[in-house]
């Protein structure tokens, strides 16, 4: 065992983001034996006693908190109680147990849905708590806001005496290997990948998509998110503190530009090899006209996304094909 290398617990290591963080750490030269993970079957993160026992036994040095209950609009609307309860419990249990067991560095992964429905575009970090949230995912968003505030509160109370440094990053819409391609509970890119693939196999003449196709959305490949997470975790504390404040310490992680739903649909159709017609049902709702986060702060801190949408979609489709084999 390399005693100079920190022991890192990646909560949610089997999920899309957590598994990408594990890949990034190993690519950076981290010893896989010094990376700890537990499946849900092995450790229920909503169980406070179990989480405390795990930390007391494993004693990690760092934590990436990427575990969460996630889903699309349908799932958020159907299971609001589960989304707020499970996420609050996971975050509170992991962050508190980390503190109680001497973890000095922790990174909490949130979501851009923390920002108000009518936030300015692109959405800056200081838009947090300035307006009403999008109703369809409010329970999830409230839980993620609480995660940021738990980290900030522990820093404010315990940083001076205990030397802890708990940080938060807020990603835009993520996609890539390990995504959920469920026909009802997935997000827009994996849902469209599945739909176009099934249309290709069935030789369907058309694929119908809700809305006008005009709204803009920002998409970030998950391995870029993992790279950003490790970058933020390892930023010198003086630099991090200089660019954040004790009660506004989260950092946005985005690609830096957005595209229309029409453009992403045609790009996915091309990657999948669907040759039929793509039609938009404008009788169905569009949602917000634009959802772009301002990731200028992270760029100033030395990080920028590398994987463009064309490359990312090819990798995502290859992952989908691998999953259904």
Based on the residue annotation, tell me whether 140 is a catalytic residue of this protein. Answer: yes
- Given 9, 64, 140, 181, the catalytic residue: 140
Q: Are 268 and 192 in contact (CB under 8 A)?
A: yes
Q: Are 222 and 178 in contact (CB under 8 A)?
A: yes
Sole residue written with tokens 């010198």 = 236
Task: Show the 3-state SS of the chain.
Answer: CCCCCCCEEEECCCCHHHHHHHHHHHHCCCCHHHEECCCCCCCCCCCHHHHHHHHHHHCCCEEEECCCCCCCHHHHHHCHHHHHHHHHHHHHHHHHHHHHCCCCEEEEECCHHHCCCCCCCCECHHHCCCCCCCHHHHHHHHHHHHHHHHHHHHHHHHHHHHCCEEEEEEECEEECCCCCCCCCCCCHHHHHHHHHHHHHHHCCCEEEEECCCCCEECEEEHHHHHHHHHHHHCCCHHHHHHHCECCECCEEECCCCCEEHHHHHHHHHHHHCCCCEEEEECCCCCCCCEECECCHHHHHCCCCCCCCHHHHHHHHHHHHHHHHC
Which residues carry out catalysis? 140
């Amino acid at each position: 065992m390399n005693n100079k290398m920190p022991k890192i617990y990646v909560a949610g290591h089997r999920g899309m983001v957590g598994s990408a963080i594990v890949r990034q750490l190993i690519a950076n030269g981290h010893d896989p034996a010094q990376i700890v993970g537990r499946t849900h079957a092995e450790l229920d993160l909503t169980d406070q006693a179990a989480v405390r026992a795990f930390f007391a036994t494993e004693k990690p040095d760092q934590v990436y908190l990427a575990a969460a209950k996630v889903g699309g609009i349908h799932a958020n609307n159907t299971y609001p109680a589960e989304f707020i309860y499970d996420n609050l419990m996971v975050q509170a249990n992991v962050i508190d147990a980390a503190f109680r067991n001497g973890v000095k560095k922790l990174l909490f992964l949130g979501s851009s849905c923390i920002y108000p429905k009518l936030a300015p575009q692109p959405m800056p970090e200081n838009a947090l708590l300035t307006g009403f949230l999008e109703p369809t995912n409010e329970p999830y968003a409230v839980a993620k806001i609480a995660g940021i505030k738990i980290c900030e509160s522990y820093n404010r109370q315990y940083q001076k005496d205990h030397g802890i440094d708990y940080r938060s990053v807020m990603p835009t819409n993520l996609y890539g290997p390990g995504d959920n391609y469920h026909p009802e509970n997935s997000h827009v890119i994996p849902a469209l990948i599945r739909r176009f693939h099934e249309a290709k196999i069935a030789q369907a003449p058309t694929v119908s998509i809700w809305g006008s196709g005009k709204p803009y959305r920002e998409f970030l490949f998950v391995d870029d998110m993992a790279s950003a997470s490790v970058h933020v975790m390892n930023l010198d504390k003086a630099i991090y503190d200089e660019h954040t404040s004790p009660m506004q310490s989260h950092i946005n992680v985005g690609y830096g530009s957005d595209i229309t739903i029409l453009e992403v649909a045609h790009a996915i159709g091309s990657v999948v090899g669907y040759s039929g017609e793509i039609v938009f049902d404008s009788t169905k709702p569009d949602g917000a006209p634009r959802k772009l986060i301002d990731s200028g702060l992270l760029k100033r801190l030395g990080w920028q996304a590398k994987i463009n949408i064309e490359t990312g979609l090819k990798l995502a489709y290859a992952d989908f094909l691998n999953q259904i084999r």
